[in-house]
């Protein structure tokens, strides 16, 4: 790659995390995240509160990222930001801030697609982590998306299949809500599942054609199951929480792995990567890794801190665009429904 040093400041504000990172070429110098606690009591992200919290967080978070990187803002070569997809009020904060700072420093502005960035996180240079060769398949699994993407090159990606209703992260979070767990429930289900029996309870997998996914039926099945069981035993959930979580997680993993198997068979591509918040899940990470032995895959599992929303992934996407001279102008607008 480039022998010169390029410093990119990256800003991510698409949902409920205000994040900033500084990269020197493909190496992360700092990666700062302010997670918004305010949503927990509502059981989900409240867009208006998220936007307001971003406004409060953005200056200190960016300041921290530059400070931790050990550079001066005048050393920056470009500013990358998340243009979408995400919540409009949240995206607007990062977009406006990035535009103003780029203008003030008189350096290029680079828009980044959040979902592409979850995939491009694999090109951050980290010891012990390999970068996938093209073409490869990426399964993006997050609170807002569930897709299988054919990645032809850094910025040429084709969506082969996606969810027709809930995202997989929502399946975790909504199931957790039914069980009385706080938001986001994904990490808690992961933890509780570790000491549970994944075959204790059986939930039917949805039948969806091709490479598309569906998760809303699973949530309903879990709701009816819990309602039925608690009618007979009011303490059912607390007595069987680990087993219920393990069984839910097992079902979700089966759904994801079945579709990935289909995608690798249909495309003949055996390099498989995952990205997005749900790729933090220990069961999913193991199941993908096991695919190496079972199905002959070569797998790429992101470093834990680059799974849930972060600005380092925006920074690497920004750096790759910088190398192509692919800049945005000051008229660029946030786009809450930006496609891959």
Nearer to ligand KG4 by Cβ, of 24 and 316: the residue is 316
Helix or strand (DSSP H, E) at 257:
helix 236-267
Angle between helices 47-69 and 88-105 (to 10 degrees): 30
Nearer to Zn ion by Cβ, of 118 and 240: the residue is 118
Q: Judged by CB under 5 A, does residue 16 bind Zn ion?
A: no
Determine the Cα–Cα distance for residues 95 and 13; give it in Å rounded to an integer. 8
Q: Which residues of 71-145 form beta strands (DSSP E)?
A: 78-84, 109-113, 136-141
Decide which of Zn ion, ligand KG4, none touches 111; Cβ closer than 5 to 8 Å per partner kind.
none
Interface map 294-313 toward ligand KG4 (x if CB under 6 A): --------------xx----
Q: Judged by CB under 6 A, does residue 280 bind ligand KG4?
A: yes
Structure tokens at 248: 């839910």
Q: How far is the CB of 128 from Zn ion (least distance, A)?
A: 23
Q: How far is the CB of 115 from Zn ion (least distance, A)?
A: 7
Q: Judged by CB under 5 A, does residue 170 bind Zn ion?
A: no
Single out the residue of 277, 291, 302, 318 in contact with ligand KG4 (rule: CB under 6 A).
Answer: 277
Closest CA to 34 of 8, 7, 49, 56: 56
CA of 262: how far to CAs of 1, 203, 211, in Å? Answer: 35, 21, 7
Which residues in the 310-329 window bind ligand KG4 by CB under 6 A? none
Q: Judged by CB under 6 A, does residue 184 bind ligand KG4?
A: yes
Cβ-proximal residues to 281 (8 Å cutoff; 6+ apart), any chain? 172, 186, 190, 249
Q: How far is the CB of 156 from ligand KG4 (least distance, A)?
A: 22
- DSSP, residue by residue, 124-167: S--TT-PPPPSSEEEEEE-SS-EEEEEEEETTEEEEEEEBSSS-
Q: Judged by CB under 5 A, does residue 309 bind Zn ion?
A: yes
Q: Judged by CB under 6 A, does residue 110 bind ligand KG4?
A: no
| Residues that bind ligand KG4 in the complex, under the rule CB under 6 A | 15, 142-144, 169, 172-173, 184, 186-187, 190, 276-278, 280-281, 308-309
């Amino acid at each position: 790659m480039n022998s010169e040093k390029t410093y990119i400041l990256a800003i991510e504000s698409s949902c409920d995390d205000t994040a900033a990172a500084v990269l020197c070429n493909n190496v992360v110098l700092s990666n700062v995240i302010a997670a918004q606690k305010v949503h927990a009591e509502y059981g989900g992200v409240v867009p208006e509160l998220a936007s307001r919290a971003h406004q409060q967080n953005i200056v200190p978070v960016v300041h921290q990222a530059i400070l931790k990187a050990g550079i001066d803002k005048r050393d920056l070569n470009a500013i990358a930001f998340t243009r979408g997809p995400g919540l409009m009020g949240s995206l607007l904060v990062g977009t406006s801030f990035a535009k103003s700072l780029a203008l003030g420093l008189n350096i290029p502005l680079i828009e980044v697609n959040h979902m592409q960035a979850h995939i491009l996180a694999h090109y951050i240079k980290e010891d012990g982590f390999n970068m996938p060769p093209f073409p490869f398949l990426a399964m993006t699994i997050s609170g807002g998306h569930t897709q299988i993407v054919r990645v032809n090159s850094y910025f040429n990606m084709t969506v082969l299949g996606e969810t027709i209703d809930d995202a997989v992260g929502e399946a975790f979070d909504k199931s957790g809500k039914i069980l009385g767990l706080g938001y986001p429930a994904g990490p808690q289900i992961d933890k509780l599942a570790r000491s549970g029996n994944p075959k204790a309870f059986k939930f039917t997998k949805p039948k969806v054609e091709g490479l598309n996914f569906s998760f809303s039926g699973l949530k309903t099945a879990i709701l009816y199951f819990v309602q039925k069981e608690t009618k007979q035993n009011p303490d059912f959930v607390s007595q069987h929480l680990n087993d219920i979580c393990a069984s839910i997680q097992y079902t979700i993993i089966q759904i994801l792995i079945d579709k990935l198997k289909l995608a690798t068979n249909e495309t003949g591509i055996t390099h498989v990567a995952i990205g997005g918040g749900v790729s933090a899940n220990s069961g999913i990470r193991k199941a993908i890794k096991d695919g190496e032995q079972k199905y002959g895959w070569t797998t790429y599992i992101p470093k834990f801190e680059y799974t849930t929303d972060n600005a380092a992934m925006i920074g690497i996407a920004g750096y790759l665009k910088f190398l192509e001279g692919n800049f945005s102008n000051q008229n660029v607008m946030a786009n809450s429904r930006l496609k891959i």
